[in-house]
Structure 1
């Protein structure tokens, strides 16, 4: 298959996902549709390396991850992080719910080894899945080695639509309150030039014409490099994901005026970065063959269903205690099933489906986006890797 044909096919799948999401007003998220189409493609005529052939090898995807996560940090402020302590507790409660449900019930249905392998990938991303897969293989548990990867691949199929439903209910409630005057707008947005002058404190004396797209990319990449450098320096003492540091450094860089808010969008690179990263995520579906799915279908469905139930119960309880709506609490917990960039994409899809009014969109964004992003990072990027490091020792 030629590169351009592969590129046309994979982009067409992403477009179909967007089309279905738009037609259904985000009740069926684009990431869910695209994942299904990729899975069907891999089971029929797709070459296993179609994403790499299209021009998205892992090294390119890694570059985009650094840029996107650092850019994501510019969406959050240090003050917002302080304000998101409830989100952190809700995310941790959701993870605790998964652990409680699987150890309390799942152990009797699927066996202790299956549950040990299932939990870290279920509450995290590819890193924890790979850790558990390798650990299971080293322990001679071949089927469970495959199971760790497949559960990571398949868990989003439950998370995507459930998150969309929860966020749509939350969004409608917020809009109703805003239209009644019960929620105040956070104020008029400033123009991009005024905003840029205010944000870029470190470059306020620099002529505007020098703040080119390349300069924006340079500053973004430099902050990502600092995150990588610090993670390598800390490696002998403590393992810290460079992606976690990218988020933190992005927040700091925005706060001190080195990066502006939405810097990747202003450099006209956000859409391309998201496209590349989503193709890389769907590339993971190539390992899920029909025979593998059939062999592990029972524990796969069982662990995901039990995990989601445990997540809902615990998030509902902590939501009541913290006075957070059950829909928002459940949506935050569900980010454990997919993380970034799906949490960002689904949230924006829901917002776009509910209103086109800029003031209303800003209200929804201010109330929903930050909790979803923080929740995803707490569960997928941080806690899941810690759990994998602990659980792999029990195999």
Structure 2
């Protein structure tokens, strides 16, 4: 297979996934569709080295990870995170509940190796899935490496409908306040103003670069410098903290101080390309998955998802109630661990569209639910999944 044909096949499979996802309003996730197509292809006519032929494997995937993580860091504001501290606590409590239940009950049912390999990818992180898959491969645990990738692909399929139900219930509650309780509505609106103010950084020390100098190459160079500084710093501390986590932290710092613009990969038009290379590397791991192996991991896969979601539901709703959140909103926040951004945005908008009877009602619902869902998603998927993977990889 030639280089360009292999690239067309890879990009085409991912495009089909996007189309199906859009057609079903994200109920069927694009990664699920793409994974099924890749798997079917590897079992039939696609070469096992399909991803390597157009050069989408390592080291491009590693570079993509570094740049994407710095980019994700620029999406987070320190002040917004502080203002949303309740959201962060609830999201973290959901993951804690998931881990506790999996490491106790789940470990008894499916074994220690399966729980260790699958728990970080269950929090929705692409990076976590790669880290656990690579760690399992290094230990010679091929089936566990496949389990980590398949878990990342499948967990969103459980999260989407559950989140849609929770957000519609929360939206119904909020609309009742909007229409019938002016005093409570005033409190919610005042809180929203303070949260909006929190998005402004007080730590900018670098002057804003004139727009005419913010070319594609300038933006990517600045992003690469931050990624390089992150990897170098991780080396200085003997990788006591994963370089992936450092990339995230340095991305936040670079954006807050003004060195990096917000959403640099989007501004440079490079986000999609890097995401394609990283997703291609993930799906390349499915070439190792034989039908016999999938039969072997099907049971643990289902058990881990069910137990993990149950742990999230119990702990997050209890903590959410203590912090003044409804059960539905707290559960929705914990479920962001199963998919992250952009599905959390899509699901929130779909719930608002389904419930609102006017543009004003939709705006109210989006203002109340979207900031929480975005912060919850970044907390769980972007930060916690990577930290969990770094910790669990050492346990494997």
Whether the TM-score (by the shorter chain) exceeds 0.5 is: yes
Q: Where does 1:269-288 land on structure 2 (aligned, <5 Å)?
A: 269-288=270-289
C-alpha spacing 1:27/1:326, structure 2 compared with 1 (3 Å): farther
Counterpart Cα distance in 2 of 1:171 and 1:164 = 11
Tell me which residue corresponds to 1:380. Answer: 385
Contact 1:84 1:374 in 2 (8 A): no
Counterpart Cα distance in 2 of 1:112 and 1:257 = 45
> Any idea what the Cα deviations from partners look like across 1:82-137, whole Å, max 9, x if unmatched?
234444433443343334334443444345565566556655433234435545x4
Contact 1:121 1:151 in 2 (8 A): no
Tell me which residue corresponds to 2:24. Answer: 24
Counterpart Cα distance in 1 of 2:7 and 2:65 = 20
Tell me which residue corresponds to 1:70. Answer: 70
Please state whether the residue corresponding to 2:64 is helix, strand or coil: helix
> Any idea what the Cα deviations from partners look like across 1:252-293, whole Å, max 9, x if unmatched?
111111112122211122222222222222222222211111
Contact 2:120 2:132 in 1 (8 A): yes
Tell me which residue corresponds to 2:155. Answer: 159
> Any idea what the Cα deviations from partners look like across 1:189-231, whole Å, max 9, x if unmatched?
9xxxxx9xx9986244x54322222111111111111111111
Aligned-residue Cα RMSD (Å) equals: 3.4
Counterpart Cα distance in 2 of 1:54 and 1:328 = 44
Contact 1:343 1:376 in 2 (8 A): yes
Contact 2:117 2:132 in 1 (8 A): no
Please state whether the residue corresponding to 1:58 is helix, strand or coil: coil
C-alpha spacing 1:215/1:60, structure 2 compared with 1 (3 Å): same
Counterpart Cα distance in 1 of 2:161 and 2:268 = 33
Tell me which residue corresponds to 1:366. Answer: 371
Tell me which residue corresponds to 2:356. Answer: none
Please state whether the residue corresponding to 1:250 is helix, strand or coil: helix
Greater shift, 94-103 or 166-175, is seen at 166-175
Counterpart Cα distance in 1 of 2:286 and 2:7 = 17
Greater shift, 292-301 or 217-226, is seen at 292-301
Tell me which residue corresponds to 2:206. Answer: 202
Tell me which residue corresponds to 1:14. Answer: 14
Please state whether the residue corresponding to 1:344 is helix, strand or coil: coil
Contact 1:175 1:360 in 2 (8 A): no
Counterpart Cα distance in 2 of 1:120 and 1:375 = 10
Tell me which residue corresponds to 1:350. Answer: 347
Q: 2:143 aligns with which of 144, 147, 154?
A: 147
Counterpart Cα distance in 1 of 2:110 and 2:210 = 64
Structure 2 unpaired stretches of 5+: 354-358
Please state whether the residue corresponding to 2:52 is helix, strand or coil: helix
Greater shift, 83-92 or 157-166, is seen at 83-92
Counterpart Cα distance in 2 of 1:97 and 1:244 = 22
Contact 1:167 1:328 in 2 (8 A): no
C-alpha spacing 1:257/1:38, structure 2 compared with 1 (3 Å): same
Contact 2:68 2:274 in 1 (8 A): yes
Q: Where does 1:305-324 land on structure 2 (aligned, <5 Å)?
A: 305-324=306-325
The alignment status of 1:125 with 2:129, answered yes or no, reads yes
Tell me which residue corresponds to 1:59. Answer: 59
Tell me which residue corresponds to 1:45. Answer: 45
Contact 1:166 1:328 in 2 (8 A): no
C-alpha spacing 1:171/1:336, structure 2 compared with 1 (3 Å): closer
Counterpart Cα distance in 1 of 2:78 and 2:244 = 17
C-alpha spacing 1:20/1:326, structure 2 compared with 1 (3 Å): farther
Q: How many residues align?
A: 369
Counterpart Cα distance in 1 of 2:363 and 2:262 = 18
The alignment status of 1:222 with 2:219, answered yes or no, reads no
Counterpart Cα distance in 2 of 1:121 and 1:209 = 41
The alignment status of 1:304 with 2:308, answered yes or no, reads no
- Give 1:336 shift: 4.9
TM-score by length of 2: 0.79
Please state whether the residue corresponding to 1:247 is helix, strand or coil: helix
TM-score by length of 1: 0.80
> Any idea what the Cα deviations from partners look like across 1:292-337, whole Å, max 9, x if unmatched?
1123433343333323322332233223333334445445444555
